[in-house]
Each structure stands twice: as structure tokens, then as C-alpha cells.
Amino acid sequence: MGDASVISEIPLIPDGEQARDWAVQELADPVYQAAQPTWFDRAAQAARDALASLFSPDVAPEWAAILALVAAIIAIAVIVIAILVWGVPRRTSSRRARTGELFGDIDYRTAEGLRTAAEAARNRRDWDTAIVLRFRAAARGLDERGLIELAPGTTARQFAVRADALAAPVSAGAREAATVFEDVRYLQRPGTETGYVVVAAADSALARLESAQGAPAEVHAS
């Protein structure tokens, strides 16, 4: 019995055919399959090999030209596939219309959406909300039309100074509107119907400005 037990514990040594079968079964495991290179990996490697071969001293000049053309075609194909799969890269921008940030708050609504909400607040006689939303509408409107690009940290006062400069020689009343906005938003003073009229008038004046022909002026925080 003791000898039989010892013999049963001796590891089985497979013959060549059995070892091959075991290897095939092991490599069929999904873990190994997932680690295999994809078609994209193979294509990228082929492109790298083609480029590397261009600098080989063993390549004849006429073949070097052909390989260069093939490498260029492969590179273009990879770029096209990347665009189709992931889309065209977008320019990183600090514009509030895209990030949603506006004078320290996050709001993704368009200028028209902000005006509509401001008018709804006005109808409820919620002057605080109406004033804040209408001033933001004025800033968002200029940003959407490319007249001003607000930099991170820009204050209402800095925006208003630039906005009035755009409307020169006639003032759009943006600085007066900024004072009303700051009183309500930051100093917690109650809004009034008169204050809303000031902000709405500035927004209407700024909305009549023509869109910029060139790059928008960026307002930086100081």
C-alpha cells in the first residue's frame, strides 16, 4: 500500500503528443486569447516595419520609393480610421458657452434660454433671479457670437468694461448692469424692477452688436 501511494504521487510525464494537446488546451484559455494582438496592432506594426525598412542600407533606391509610398498610404488610412472611430479632435477652449462656467457658476443654457428664464422670473416678480439670469444672458450672447471670449476667473465688472468698449462710442450700459448684478449676486441686496430694466436694456443693446469678423477678444482676470 505504501509503494502504491508513493507511485500515485509521482507526477505524470506526458509524451510528445499529449504535451502538445495540453499546450493547445491551455493556450485556448480566454486569458491568452485576450492578450493576442488585434488587427489594428498588426497594421501598426506593419507600418512601423515599413518605415524602418526605408532606412535599411540593403534596400534598393527604387524599392525605397515604393515603400515610402506604401507607408504614406498606410499612415493616411490609419488617420482616416481614427477620425471615423473617434471623430475630429476638438480645440480646447475656455469659452463659457462650451464649459458652462459663467461668473463662477455652471450654466449650460444658451443666451436665448437664459433670457427666456429671466423673463419667466420677471413675470413672477422674482427680481433677484431675473437680474442674475439676464446679465448672464448678455455675457453668453457675446460669447456665442464670437465678440468676447471670457477667460477663467473673469468678473462681471471686467466683462462689462470690455462690452461697453465694443459698443463705443455709445455706451451699452453694461457697467451699470454689472453694478446691479453684483449688488444682487454678491452683496445679497434685493433686486428691483428698476434694476432689471437696467440689465435688460444693456442686454438688448449688446444683442444688437454685429458678430466679430476676426478672433474674439478674450477678457482675462486680473
Does pTM surpass 0.85?
A: no
**In 3-state terms, the chain is what percent helix, strand and coil (to 5)?**
65, 5, 30
Q: Is residue 139 in some structural domain? A: yes
% of the chain beyond a pLDDT of 70: 56
Residues 180 and 126 in one domain: yes
| Alpha carbons 126 and 112: distance in angstroms, whole number | 19
Q: How far apart are CA 60 and CA 2, in angstroms?
A: 73
pLDDT at 55 over 50: yes
pLDDT tens figures, 121-168? 999 999 999 999 999 999 999 988 889 887 777 889 999 999 999 888
Return the SS3 of 148.
strand
Once rounded to an integer, what is the mean pLDDT over residues 40-58?
65
Report the amino acid identity of residue 194. Answer: T
Compute how many other C-beta atoms are within 10 angstroms of the C-beta atom of residue 77.
Answer: 12
**Among the ranges given (65-79, 155-169, 206-220), the one the predictor scored with the smallest mean pLDDT:** 206-220
Q: Are residues 26 and 124 in the same domain?
A: no
Cell matching residue 92: 480646447
Element (H, E) at 7: helix 2-9
Domain final residue, candidates 50, 65, 86 = 86
Supply the pLDDT for residue 39: 60
Please report which confidence band the pLDDT of residue 76 belongs to, taking 50, 70 and 90 as the band edges. Answer: confident
Q: Between the ranges 25-34, 89-98, 116-125, where is the mean pLDDT highest?
A: 116-125
What residue has cell string 420677471?
Answer: 122
When pLDDT is cut at 50, 70 and 90, the band that residue 220 belongs to is: very low
Question: Taking 70 as the threshold, does the pLDDT of residue 202 lie above it?
Answer: yes
176 and 102 inside one domain: yes
pLDDT score of 130: 96
Same domain, 50 and 121: no
In-domain check, residue 91: no
